[in-house]
Amino acid sequence: MTEHVQPRFAVGTFTPAPGRGRLGRMLLAQTATETKLALRNGEQLLLTLIIPLALLVGLTELPIIDVGTPRVDWVTPRVIALAIMSTGFTSQAISLGFDRRYGVLKRLAATALPRWLLVAGRVLSGVLVIVVQLIVLGAVAALLGWSPQLAGVGESIALLVLGALAFGALGVLLGGSVRAEIVLAVANAVWFVLLLAGGIAVPASSLPAGLADVVGLLPSGALANGLTDALAAGTAPGPGPYLVLAFWTVLPAAVATRTTRLT
Amino acid sequence: MSEDATPHGATVHAGPDSTDTPALAVSNLVKRFGTSTAVDRLDLTMPGGTVLALLGPNGAGKTTTVEICEGFQRPDGGRVRVLGLDPNRDGAALRPRIGVMPQGGGAYPGVRAGEMLRLVAACAAHPLDPDWLLDVLGLRDALRTPYKRLSGGQQQRLSLACAVVGRPELVFLDEPTAGLDPQARRLVWELVDALRTDGVGVLLTTHLMDEAETLADQVVIIDHGSLVAAGTPAELTGESGGRQRLAFRASSGLPIAELLDRLPAGCTGTEPAPGRYELVGPIGPAEVSAVTAWCAEHDVLAQELRVAYRSLEDVFLDLTGRELR
């Protein structure tokens, strides 16, 4: 280390010139930072892109679970539901848990950055990551021969938005309230359980009878079923999935506003 | 907006409104956690453009006090005004005007040092050049290192950079030199000095007495959440009534009661450790001569003999106790 340099702070260097930065610039800076961090983090990429890609290819090519045909048309909506859960819930909760541990929320809350902008930057960065996921997964699915029902695209976008909100609210609820290690363990465990038994990888029709009834009431099952109905079958999923996802948005969000801590 | 041409050019101490609104005015501050009282009727006043050092043992309430001033905690009683604003009610107006270095820093675990400082700089209207600041704080080699891989000292310096990059009027530094090597500590001292010269107020907490003695215009010692002493370093260490301390080493077990008989009334003497002697009182040339003469009579050589004013550390230990807690 060559730190014996005599730093010269010229008189006037620190003359106060306080003031808040421009809102657009702050939002851009924060969104860009959070997005870069999400796309640079190996463990998060594993959850948000690599595992969904592996499942997309694996479940399409290997007839281990009975889905409809063509297989890719049934697998893709479920993998998209998984990608939303990975970003909105697991990845969000873990990063929030460790961001709190490392004091970044307090650090940023002490700047001129308004609190709503802190939240907006996080939401926007989540949206950007989801867009990247949809592009990558959609392109690979297309290579595998995916042909979604175009009539269902409108509904599936509505379901995606609501699903991202529901998982995001659950992610903030978990990541904002307990210690980082507990967040890490719970977020991964819930992700794994919902993937296998929550109506994502295994359709409700292939699950044991008791579980099949419950799955539609979980955010994972509601999103996966809704997307499959809209994109694979081309049928309207009805109000069911929307109501379930709305419930899983409002309740955790209401609790999270009381439990979320900066550190 | 706020940076009009400096009327006095480059004169030293161009402190803005240092006379009208105090940078900090805390009165009768109370903060409780459950049944324990972290801050107990504390009063603080700090003029703009000055440096105040908050000293106290661990758990004395320093961080709680600072966090209340920053708006991170709500007081249970009393009145707090920072740059004339209530940190809780007027937080949005206050935050652009202050710089904060939280204890233990704060950044995304995976963020690079340069990215973090640029993000914080983007929140300010007229920030300092982040690259220059990183350079001058010795972080050039760490520009692309993720925060969690920075050494403790590098994290501290990045945190300090984040506190000053927005060109605030008042800076809160919670233990700014904790974990720094001596070179980096000097650098921080120079920076604090430069801040004061440019009219920025600095409230810092520290355990280091030499730090407080060197940097602060005003030292406030708190313990159990209450103020126990306040004043300039000179006022706190200067002996009222000309009391000095004389210390020397010699063989152990000398009869110092006999020595005290030859010294003016009001002198006290102890042997705090075997062979180490301390006398406190009005000690002048005649008294020093009496001590050495007495040693000669006992055929011992007084080694390391020195007369000193109390250090700030002595004041601190006298006021807050010497036991570990």
* Structure tokens belonging to residue A142: 């297309």
Let me know if residue B148 belongs to a domain. Answer: yes
Q: Above pLDDT 90, what percent of chain B?
A: 52
Let me know if residue B8 belongs to a domain. Answer: no
Place B4 in a pLDDT band, splitting at 50, 70 and 90. Answer: very low
Chain mean pLDDT for chain B: 86
Let me know if residue B212 belongs to a domain. Answer: yes
* B88, B110: one domain: yes
Let me know if residue B84 belongs to a domain. Answer: yes
Q: In total, how many domains does chain A have?
A: 1
Task: Among B10, B97, B168, select the one facing A12 at the smallest CB separation.
Answer: B10
Query: CA-CA distance, A174 to A98, in Å (whole number)?
Result: 12
Last residue of a domain, one of B237, B252, B273: B237
* B213, B303: one domain: no
* B217, B148: one domain: yes
Let me know if residue A16 belongs to a domain. Answer: no
pLDDT digits (tens, 9 = 90+) for B239-296: 545 677 888 999 888 998 888 888 888 888 888 889 889 888 888 888 889 999 999 9
Last residue of a domain, one of B189, B212, B237: B237
Which B residues, 132 through 161, put their C-beta within 8 Å of a C-beta on chain A?
136-138, 141, 147-148, 159
Enumerate the residues of chain B whose CB falls inside 8 A of the CB of residue A91. Answer: none
Each residue's pLDDT, cut to its tens digit, for chain A (263 residues) gives: 444 555 578 888 999 999 999 999 999 999 999 999 999 999 999 999 999 999 999 989 888 777 777 889 989 999 999 999 999 999 999 999 999 999 999 999 999 998 889 889 999 999 999 999 999 999 999 999 998 888 889 999 999 999 999 999 999 999 999 999 999 999 999 999 999 888 888 877 777 877 878 888 999 999 999 999 899 888 888 899 999 999 999 999 999 988 888 87
Let me know if residue A29 belongs to a domain. Answer: yes
* B142, B249: one domain: no
CA separation, residue B159 to residues A73, A118, B176, B236 (Å): 51, 19, 9, 31
Let me know if residue A14 belongs to a domain. Answer: no
Q: In total, how many domains does chain B have?
A: 2
Enumerate the residues of chain B whose CB falls inside 8 A of the CB of residue A104. Answer: 106-109, 111
pLDDT digits (tens, 9 = 90+) for A189-247: 999 999 988 888 887 777 787 787 888 899 999 999 999 989 988 888 889 999 999 99
Query: CA-CA distance, B249 to B266, in Å (whole number)?
Result: 22
CATH of the domain at B291: 3.30.70
Domain that holds residue A121: 25-61+68-259
* B254, B135: one domain: no
Q: Least CA distance to B197: which residue of chain A? A: A11
Closest CA to B155 of B180, B123, B119: B180
Domain that holds residue B257: 244-309
Let me know if residue A226 belongs to a domain. Answer: yes
Which A residues, 104 through 163, put their C-beta within 8 Å of a C-beta on chain B?
104-114
Let me know if residue A33 belongs to a domain. Answer: yes
- φ/ψ of residue B218, rounded to 5: -140, 135
Task: Among B123, B164, B190, select the one facing A21 at the smallest CB separation.
Answer: B123
**Cβ-Cβ contacts under 8 Å for A51 (sequence gap 6 or more):** A82, A86
Last residue of a domain, one of B179, B214, B237: B237
* B301, B171: one domain: no
Give yes or no for B107 touching A (CB within 8 A).
yes
* B252, B169: one domain: no
Query: CA-CA distance, B321 to B317, in Å (whole number)?
Result: 5
CATH of the domain at B37: 3.40.50.300
Q: Least CA distance to A25: which residue of chain B? A: B122
Let me know if residue B316 belongs to a domain. Answer: no
Let me know if residue A10 belongs to a domain. Answer: no
Let me know if residue A5 belongs to a domain. Answer: no
- Number of alpha helices (DSSP H) and beta strands (DSSP E) in chain B: 11, 13
* B80, B219: one domain: yes
Let me know if residue A11 belongs to a domain. Answer: no
